[in-house]
Structure 1
């Protein structure tokens, strides 16, 4: 090796040594920073120090103190007495044991409003604060013993509690006591404490959706503790419940009014466009525009608008199903086949809304309060299974059961329906529809639907219904134009103008192979061994009382499967 090569080699070694040293210094600095990072120093002084010392010495709610120390309140020197202060005569005022400190047992939104006035006011104007369960609560006050509502309805609906000081709400329903964590409030399961179950399975719908799927995959990488006050864009990759209903983005301010972006009252017995605080929040089109503005942070405009238009048509379709239920229960009530509950001259159940003691009322209630909500909410929140199997399928099943009940109890019209063999009997109502869907073009998707392929005027009928809804203000001008765009080019959006028969025939062949295998492996099989019980013609299954008494008096004998006797 000559001198030049040796010199070059030494130079390279020197450069790499310097680079390695720099990297090691950077790594050491990062690790040193991590090791020296400490939590903010929380200074507890004055009355607050007395509270903390007493609780610590007596071992009373010590973890609450630890939780408070993690909060922004503690960092900003907002202590116990700032939230728990009270004056004589306050409904919740009391003296702590062995203390002369007068404190309030229940800090209310009125207390929170001293620092968070905007949030408290927004909340008080939302449906979270609406006392509908007290205004209309026959199904709780009659059907259930009161004790069950204490840890049932009231535990969730306490979010709309009206306090003796006339403030409304419970901030710690979402923000846990003492930490008041934003991250916890944004966690989908926090909303799922209440928005769960057969009548409003929103957490299940969310977790079924692509939104929930991505959240589960990425949640450990996302920081949900961001401040939303000056939020200019959505800082996380996928929305949580709070993202869509509360957080802001480039165009929308954040809000504690969860009704500000809702275009439907879809929890009600009928779906109708929201008029909630219309003078302050605007009409349903303005509320929908707010929601769409959030969605368009991640999705293309046409996808968002087509998806919501389809969901809106689902809500309108629900109304037509419900109209049939209302027709039948009113008719059965008028004919005396079902009756309302009465006491002291007052009726305590409405056959349309909340009857339970007779089958048609029971079906009617569930078709609204359970299956009907799931059908509508699944469509709005991307929960396909809740729109389909937990929704429309169950709704139709309720309707069939109701009409069968009417037929069994002598209603001539119901008997005619039951005896009909025509498939269209399952659609005794007008239809809403939209050509195709928001996801793409599928030439095979429209080879099956009975009404579509058997009625030449199917789309003419649908056109009339959608146009009528638009004229009644239930669809916006923009939505009507979007629907017309698809209607006028429906062969494209439905895929019927594209020939994919070769693909269809290929899968038909595969299906035939599958079917043949099923028949060979299962359907046409008959095991050679005899079954252990075979009823004999003319013989009542099961021993007579005389035989039972005789058998009880016998000693245990071997059982003969051939004879069925001992």
Structure 2
């Protein structure tokens, strides 16, 4: 804590005078008297928050932590500055409140006479932030580490290499933290702030994935760039889609009007310029309360080869799971997965939660129109491309034409990228109003790679006769593929020609 000691009345007078001058210059801080000293407190947002639960000096504000503060102030001044300017620092929550370990902790070790842990887990944070922990603990974010048992990880570990996975995949999804005999995390799994990190105390997640240590800023967690660390790239380009959308364009133009430090931060009340990722998926607005469960307002799943609408089932033990539309749905009070169902949200109720947030700034015609366009793109992708290709791949495996092992044949790589890259981009583009990602980076590439990579490879693998039989069975009944079997409709081509010639002159389209 940045404390001005009461050495003498003259010393205090000079220090306070200097601080007043500094405050007049920077216009963002004030001085308050705490425990016989003076502390520099930021006024915006940070100073308005309530203290943690419990007793000062017992549950938080550990007196022994003052020694930690003074040492780090000297040896790691940047870390100290970040902590001191944080809400924790200005409210007296110090190093030991977060880093103090229990004798049973496998990641505890002696440091300067104190038993501490380098890793601060969500379970540690839950001592003060109980609601946030409970909401996060059952969410999709906390399960991000499950990628370690998926085809994505197999592709990384085997085809790429473990070193790339450690420094790549696991930095977003989270690693399983391993602890050495000295109680410190091994360098092969640390540092790591992956959102689904599996911690030594059994908890899942990392609060610092969004609230970077040691500032733990609310404002940082509300910016799209924070989400963009992981939601970026060829298979999940949410940050790129957001930046090209009208929402993203306005946000970047009006960032100073976003009131990001506000404690309440309710859409339409505390700000109105534009939403960020947090606005739609987590924050308050349109009568919806804030939540750290990022999947609660999502009605489609856009990750798998074929999208489905998902109902959400929450259990007594804090976990939750999705039930695809059309499958049997348990009721409140039923037993499920060794626990009891406490809440069921249908996909329609999940969608309504998101739409309620939209009403903070939009009318029903805009909201319903957006969802109509979004749904139709997902249906187009599903019905025209994903379902027939998935059926063909299944038939090839059943016939023994291709092996059941993944990634050992070219046609599997082509299908992987159609759904895992281009297909996801198209669906996410439509979901977040990104036109270029819906079409050129999305459906255009889905179509191009289907017709001119997947089908030619299918003919090589299965032979011309068998390939044509599969295409007749799964592709030809779909009206959207008629052009492939019958050629372009002359009327369609003529309409394009007339439009082109009206702009560039007769016979300009050769």
TM-score, normalised relative to structure 1? 0.65
Name which of 108, 111, 126 aligns with 1:93: 108
- Residues 292 and 304 of structure 1 are in contact (CA less than 8 Å); yes or no, is this contact kept in structure 2? yes
Please give the alpha-carbon distance, in whole angstroms, between the structure 2 residues aligned to 1:403 and 1:116: 53
Structure 1 residue 272 displacement after superposition:
1.0
Partner of 2:392: 328
Offset of residue 328 of structure 1: 2.3
Question: Do residues 182 (structure 1) and 234 (structure 2) align?
Answer: no
| CA spacing shift, 1:506–1:451, aligned 2, 3 Å | closer
User: C-alpha displacement at 1:398, in angstroms?
Assistant: 2.3
Q: What residue is the counterpart of 1:170 in the other structure? A: 206
Question: Which residue of structure 2 lines up, in the alignment, with residue 371 of structure 1?
Answer: 422
Name the structure where strand makes up a greater proportion of residues: 2
1:390 alignment counterpart: 441
Q: Determine the structure 2 residue equivalent to 1:406.
A: 458
Distance 1:337 1:230, change over 3 A: closer
Deviation sequence 1:416-475 (CA, Å, 0-9, x none): 899x9xxxx98763669xxxxxxxxxxxxxxxx978978xxxxxxxxxxxxxxxxxxxxx
| Alignment check: 8 A CA contact 1:311 1:379 kept | yes
Cα distance, 1:373–1:451 mapped onto 2, change above 3 Å: farther
2:147 pairs, out of 119, 133, 145, with: 133
Q: Is 1:46 aligned with 2:72?
A: no
Spell out the pairing of 1:243-258 with structure 2 (5 A cutoff).
243-258=279-294
* Equivalent position SS for 1:42: strand
Q: How many positions carry a matched residue from both structures?
A: 402
What 5-or-longer segments of structure 1 have no aligned partner? 1-30, 341-348, 350-354, 433-448, 455-500, 520-566
Greater per-residue helix proportion? 1
Residue 88 of structure 2 is aligned to residue 73 of structure 1: yes
Give the distance between the partners of 1:155 and 1:404, measured in 2 at CA: 37
Does the aligned pair in 2 maintain the 1:404–1:414 contact within 8 Å?
Answer: no
Report what 2:120 is aligned to: 107
CA contact (8 A) 1:332 1:406 kept: no
Which of the pair has the greater relative contact order for Cα pairs under 8 Å at 6+ separation?
2
Match of 1:301 in 2: 364
Secondary structure of 1:370's counterpart equals: helix
Checking the alignment, whether the CA contact within 8 Å between 1:375 and 1:391 is kept in structure 2 is yes
Cα RMSD for the two superposed structures: 3.3
TM-aligned CA distance change 1:267 to 1:160, over 3 Å: same
- CA distance in 2: counterparts of 1:167 and 1:303, whole angstroms: 41
Change (3 A) 1:133 1:102: same
TM-fit CA distance, 1:514: 9.0
Equivalents in 1 of 2:265, 2:254: separation in Å? 24
Find the aligned partners of 1:205 and 1:328 in 2 and give their Cα distance: 31
CA deviations over 1:246-293 (Å, ceiling 9, x no partner): 111241001100011000111122211113335535111111001001
Unmatched 5+ stretches in structure 2? 1-21, 32-37, 41-60, 175-194, 315-340, 482-486
| Cα distance, 1:189 vs structure 2 | 0.9
Residue in 2 that maps onto 1:291:
354
Q: What corresponds to 1:481 in structure 2?
A: none
Equivalent residue number for residue 182 of structure 2: none
SS at match of 1:87: coil
Q: Is 2:286–2:359's contact at 8 Å kept on the other side of the alignment?
A: no
CA deviation string 1:475-507 (max 9, x = no partner)? xxxxxxxxxxxxxxxxxxxxxxxxxx9xx9997
Q: Does 1:266 align with 2:329?
A: no
Larger radius of gyration: 1
